[in-house]
Structures are given as C-alpha cells and as structure tokens.
Structure 1
Amino acid sequence: MLFPTPLIRGTLLQRYKRFLADIRLDTGELITASVPNTGSMRGLTTPGSPAWLSISDSTKRKYAHTLQIVHADNTLVGINTGLPNKIAEEAILNGMIPELSDFTSLKREQKYGQNSRIDLLLLGETGSKTYVEVKNVHFKRTGTLAEFPDSVTARGAKHLAELSDMVKAGHRGVMVFVIQRDDCDALSICGDLDPVYAAAFTQARQDGVEAYAIRCHISPEAIIADQTVPVLTL
C-alpha cells in the first residue's frame, strides 16, 4: 500500500485522549495530529520517538496531520488500524497466501453474523464463500515474536465466534493478522492480556477457523506485505 505522498517526519511528544498526539515536526512546528488507532498502542507512545505523518488538505478536518508510523525497538511500526484491510487485500490478490488463492471475486465489508461486517469475502466459481477477518498487529515484547491483542478486545472475540458459525454453516472462516513491523518472524495470541480472546481463538481453531499472519515492510513511502509468518498454537 503506497501512501499518496511521502510522509513527513517529526517527534512524538505525547498521545492523549486516545485519538490525539502532539508532534514537533522536523521544521520545528508544533502540531496536534489525529491518531487512527483505538487500541492501547502498548510500547509505541514513548515521548521522543521519531514519528511520520500524512497530511490532508481537506477543509472538513479539524487536524490536517495523521500519525502513521512510529519508530520503536529499532524499527518502523505502522499504527494506523485503518490500513490492514488494504494491505491484506493486496497480499491476497498478489497470491501471498496460497491457501486463499482459489476465488473468482472479492468483496469488502459484507454483512454477516450478528450485526457485523466481514472485512473481505472471497467468492468461488462453485458458490463457495470464504469469510476473512483482518486484524492489525504491532505489539512485540520479546525477541521476534509479534503478539495480538495488546489489550482486551471483546469485539475480537465476537468475530471469532462468528467465523466459527460460518465454518459450521459450510463456508470457510479465516483470520488474517497483518503485522505492521518487519522485525517479527512469528505471531502468538496474547493470552495474559486477554484470556477471553485466547480462549475464543483456541475454540475457533478447533472449529476449523484458519489463521494466517503477514509481516510488512514499513517505510515513509509505503507499507507493503513482505511475507507470511507462522501463527503459533496455544
């Protein structure tokens, strides 16, 4: 996924009210930027961290700048949770996940389950349906292991149950974890931070829900799916 224009650089001063951050641009200008991430961003909000932002020229926006990337643990980390669906779609269309290559059309944001929308729906020639739920990952604590989630996600557990329902109905249910950093070679479910999600994930896998993880290469010009990495069993 290419950014429309290269991002600009600054220094993160603080994140607050979840959706806002104060940034000092390299030009010296002090600005407030929007933060497109509802999660805790655990480990990614250290004051003084280099940061990269996009700029919108829309007159309807209160804040023209949007935080996109933070430098942490000696690597660039994408924080925008609105991007993984696009990244996953590109990866699937490019054949990066061979198990998801047998489809004739792809649809986005289709209604399913209990008042939910599936991120991607893959339709096959014979009428087969593959329901793909995409999750953003940027949390890492030790070594080269990415972890999800970084905080409690009741919504995530609900999606796992709904994918199980799709499998029981004769379709395929798939989780795709998009790791927006390039220093991880596997993904694990973070059971100590959200044991309910971990239990739901284990049950979903037993029900036949598939799980894949994609690692990304991050730069101020683009966030590109790089390669698949294993999803470890609990």
Structure 2
Amino acid sequence: MRFSTPLVPGRLVRRYMRFLADVELESGEVVKAHCPNPGAMTGLKDPGLRVWLERNDDPKKKLDWGWRLCELPDGHWAGIDTAVPNRVVGEALAARAVPELGEYDAVRPEVRYGTRSRVDYLLEGAGRTYVEVKNVHLRREGDWAEFPDSVTARGTRHLKDLADMVAQGHRAVMLYLVQRTDCARFRLAPDIDPAYAAAFDAARAAGVEMLCYGTRIDVEGVSFGEALPVDRAPQAGGLAVPGQSA
C-alpha cells in the first residue's frame, strides 16, 4: 500500500478528542491533523514524537492533514492508521502472498456473517474461509507486539463469530497485522481486556486459526511482511503485564 501523496514530517504537539492531533511542521507552523485511530495509542502519542502527515486535497474532508506514521528509536516505524491493515492484507491476498491462504478462487471483502458483523474477507474456492484482520501497534516489553491496546467488545464478538463459522464446517482465520517494525512475536494483553483474551482462548480451542504478520514501513508506504510467532500459551490464564517474564 503506497501513500497517495508524499508525507511531511513534524513533531507531535498533542493528540486529543481521540481523532485529532496538533503537529508542528518543520516550518514552525502548527497544523490540525486527523488521527485515524480510536485506540489508546500507548507510546505513540507522546508530545515531541516525530510523526509524518499526509496532505489531503479532498475538499469534502474537513481537515487538510492526516496522521500516518510515527518515527521510533533505532530507525523503526509505526503506522497509526487502523484502516491500513485491511488494505495491506487485501493486496497480499490478491497477490497470493499469504502462504496459509493461497488457494482460493475469489476474495470478497465486507461480507455479512455472524451476529451483526461483516467479515473483512471471505475467501471462496474448494470451501469458504472467513478472515478477520486486526491492527496491532502496542509494544510494552521486549519485542512483544500485543493486542488490544484498549477494550474491544467488537473484537470479542468477531472471535465468537469466527468460532461459529468453524462449528458450521467452515475455515476461520484471525490475522493480526503488526503495524510497527520493532516487534518479533505476538501475544495478547489480557490485563487490558480480559474478556477478549478469554474469547481468544475459546476461539483457538474451537479451531479458529490465529496468524500474525509484520509489516515493512517507510515514508513511501506500508507492505505485508514476515510471519511472526503467536504465543502458544493460554492468553487468559495469567495476565501479561509489562515487566512480567514470558
């Protein structure tokens, strides 16, 4: 996924009201940008953080800027736009670049299923495979990527819907896409949302496949990366908190 227009660097002044951010550009001008992320954004909203904005030329949109990336220590990056993972995974599916999901005849986005849900992608071929995509950008300890960064009742419902699809004889996959480049493995954050962790354990036991992939990120765009291992331990059994050995 390539950004539509060249990104512009700046320094974060503040993120507020969930979807707004003030950013000081290198010229000294402070602009208001759309923050396309409703989550807690732990570690990614600190004042002074170097961030990258995309100019918006759409007259229908209220703000002229959209926040896209955070520049992290040691040359790493984090993407903060929660809509990006679906686009990245969609491109990877179209290119048959997800090894576990390479055999199908059609890819259909946003298909109704379950209880009040739309599956991100329905893959059709010899059978049906239901694929949900989740954005991951929380890192609190070591090289662990964690999900979620805030309570997500919607995410819990998706896990239950996927388990129902398995019970009906279909294949179901939860694909976590880590939108930062300084993580090498994945686990849940049950101290943040214990209900989600319990639903994850139940869905995995029911046969829902849990996949995690990283991303390659730079100022040009975000692309599908390498597979990251998913913690095999029960996620709701013990609360994983920063500083606790795994």
TM-score range, shorter chain: over 0.9
Alpha-carbon distance, 1:73 to partner: 4.3
5 Å-filtered alignment, 1:1-234, equals 1-74=1-74, 75-124=76-125, 126=126, 128-233=127-232, 234=234
The one-letter amino acid paired with 1:141 is R
Gaps of 5+ in 2: 235-246
**Is the Cα contact below 8 Å between 2:180 and 2:215 reproduced in 1?**
yes
**How far does the alpha carbon of each residue in 1:51-94 deviate from its partner, in whole angstroms, 9 at most, with x for none?**
00111111121111000001234421000001100111222333
Task: State the percentage of identical aligned residues.
Answer: 45
**How far does the alpha carbon of each residue in 1:208-234 deviate from its partner, in whole angstroms, 9 at most, with x for none?**
000111101111111111211111122
How many aligned residue pairs are there?
A: 232
Matched residues in 2 for 1:174 and 1:13: separation? Answer: 39
Matched residues in 1 for 2:153 and 2:73: separation? Answer: 28
**Is the Cα contact below 8 Å between 1:14 and 1:23 reproduced in 2?**
yes
Matched residues in 1 for 2:112 and 2:121: separation? Answer: 10
TM-score w.r.t. the length of structure 1 is 0.96
Matched residues in 1 for 2:191 and 2:65: separation? Answer: 35
Aligned to 1:139, the other structure's residue is in SS state: coil
The one-letter amino acid paired with 1:26 is E
**Is the Cα contact below 8 Å between 1:43 and 1:72 reproduced in 2?**
no
